[in-house]
Amino acid sequence: MGIITVIGSGLMGSAMSIPASDNGHLVRLVGTPLDREIIRSLQEKNVHPTLPCTMPDGISAFQFEDVRKALEGADLVICGVSSFGVDWFAQEALPLLPAGVPVLNVTKGLLGHSDGSLETFPHFFARLRPDLSFAAIGGPCTAYELGDRRQTLVCYCSEDLATAKFARDLLKTPYYHIVPTTDVIGVECSVAMKNAYAMGVSLAIGMSEAENEQQRNVKKVENSLISGAHDGKLHYNPQAALFAQSCIEMRRLVRLLGGNGDLVGGIPGAGDLYVTIFGGRTRRLGTLLGRGLPYSEVKKRLAGVTLEAVSVTTRVAEALRIRAKHKEVSLQKFPLLMHLDALLNQEAPLALDWESFGESGMQE
Amino acid sequence: MGIITVIGSGLMGSAMSIPASDNGHLVRLVGTPLDREIIRSLQEKNVHPTLPCTMPDGISAFQFEDVRKALEGADLVICGVSSFGVDWFAQEALPLLPAGVPVLNVTKGLLGHSDGSLETFPHFFARLRPDLSFAAIGGPCTAYELGDRRQTLVCYCSEDLATAKFARDLLKTPYYHIVPTTDVIGVECSVAMKNAYAMGVSLAIGMSEAENEQQRNVKKVENSLISGAHDGKLHYNPQAALFAQSCIEMRRLVRLLGGNGDLVGGIPGAGDLYVTIFGGRTRRLGTLLGRGLPYSEVKKRLAGVTLEAVSVTTRVAEALRIRAKHKEVSLQKFPLLMHLDALLNQEAPLALDWESFGESGMQE
With a pLDDT cut of 90, the percent of chain A lying above it is 85
- CB pair distance less than 8 Å for B236 and A148: no
Q: What is the pLDDT of residue B221?
A: 47
Q: What is the pLDDT of residue B275?
A: 95
The span from the CA of A56 to the CA of A45, in Å, is 12
Q: What is the pLDDT of residue B364?
A: 38
Q: What is the pLDDT of residue B218?
A: 60
Q: How far is CA B305 from CA A194, B33, B202, B298, in A?
A: 38, 18, 18, 10
- Count other Cβ atoms within 10 Å, centred on residue A163: 23
pLDDT digits (tens, 9 = 90+) for B108-138: 999 999 999 999 999 999 999 999 999 999 9
Q: Does B48 touch chain A (CB under 8 A)?
A: no
Closest by CA position to B7, among listed B58, B54, B109, B76: B76
- Mean pLDDT, chain B, whole residue set: 92
Q: What is the pLDDT of residue B224?
A: 35
- CB pair distance less than 8 Å for B229 and A52: yes
Q: How far is CA A213 from CA A117, A206, A209, A283, in A?
A: 43, 11, 6, 19
pLDDT higher than 80, residue A360: no
Taking residues A2-15, what's their average pLDDT? 96
Q: Does A210 touch chain B (CB under 8 A)?
A: no
| DSSP one-letter string for B222-290 | H----SS--SSPPPHHHHHHHHHHHHHHHHHHHHHHT--GGGGGSIIIIIHHHHHHTSSHHHHHHHHHH
Taking residues B54-64, what's their average pLDDT? 90
pLDDT digits (tens, 9 = 90+) for A296-337: 999 999 886 778 999 999 999 999 999 999 999 999 999 999
Taking residues B233-257, what's their average pLDDT? 95
**pLDDT band at residue A228 under the 50/70/90 scheme:** very low
Residues 324-353 of A with CB under 8 A from B: 352
- CB pair distance less than 8 Å for B241 and A146: no
With a pLDDT cut of 70, the percent of chain A lying above it is 94
Q: How far is CA B297 from CA A300, B300, B349, in A?
A: 52, 5, 12
Q: Find the length of chain B.
A: 364
Domains of chain B: 3-182 (3.40.50.720), 191-362 (1.10.1040.10)
- CB pair distance less than 8 Å for A271 and B359: no
**pLDDT band at residue A55 under the 50/70/90 scheme:** confident
Q: Does A50 touch chain B (CB under 8 A)?
A: no
CA angle B240-B357-A76, nearest 5°? Answer: 85
- Mean pLDDT, chain A, whole residue set: 92
pLDDT higher than 70, residue A265: yes
Q: What is the pLDDT of residue B222?
A: 43
Closest by CA position to A24, among listed A149, A148, A163, A171: A171
Sign of the dihedral defined by the CA atoms of residues A42, A48, A54, A55, in that order: negative
**pLDDT band at residue B52 under the 50/70/90 scheme:** confident
- CB pair distance less than 8 Å for A251 and B265: yes
Residues of B in contact with A245 (CB under 8 A): 153
Residue A261's closest chain B neighbor by CA? B262
Q: What is the pLDDT of residue B36?
A: 96
Q: What is the pLDDT of residue B303?
A: 84
The span from the CA of A267 to the CA of A276, in Å, is 12
The span from the CA of B356 to the CA of A90, in Å, is 36
pLDDT digits (tens, 9 = 90+) for B7-30: 999 999 999 999 999 999 999 999
Question: Which of A200-209, A278-287, B224-233, B262-271 is the least confident region?
Answer: B224-233
Q: Does B228 touch chain A (CB under 8 A)?
A: yes
- CB pair distance less than 8 Å for A236 and B145: yes
pLDDT digits (tens, 9 = 90+) for A79-96: 999 999 999 999 999 999
- CB pair distance less than 8 Å for B244 and A278: no
pLDDT higher than 80, residue B250: yes
Distant-in-sequence contacts of A297-306, Cβ < 8 A, 24+ apart? A305/A281, A306/A84
Q: Does A228 touch chain B (CB under 8 A)?
A: yes
The span from the CA of B180 to the CA of B154, in Å, is 9
Taking residues A144-162, what's their average pLDDT? 96
Residues 134-193 of B with CB under 8 A from A: 139-142, 144-153, 155, 177, 179, 181, 183
Taking residues A185-190, what's their average pLDDT? 97
The span from the CA of B94 to the CA of B79, in Å, is 9
Q: What is the pLDDT of residue B135?
A: 98
Instruction: Give the sheet arrangement for strand A59-62, strand by strand.
Output: A59-62, A26-30, A3-7, A76-79, A103-105, A134-138, A152-157, A176-181
Q: Which amino acid is at A216?
A: R
Q: How far is CA B211 from CA A180, A186, B348, in A?
A: 30, 34, 20
pLDDT digits (tens, 9 = 90+) for B183-223: 999 999 999 999 999 999 999 999 999 988 887 766 544 43
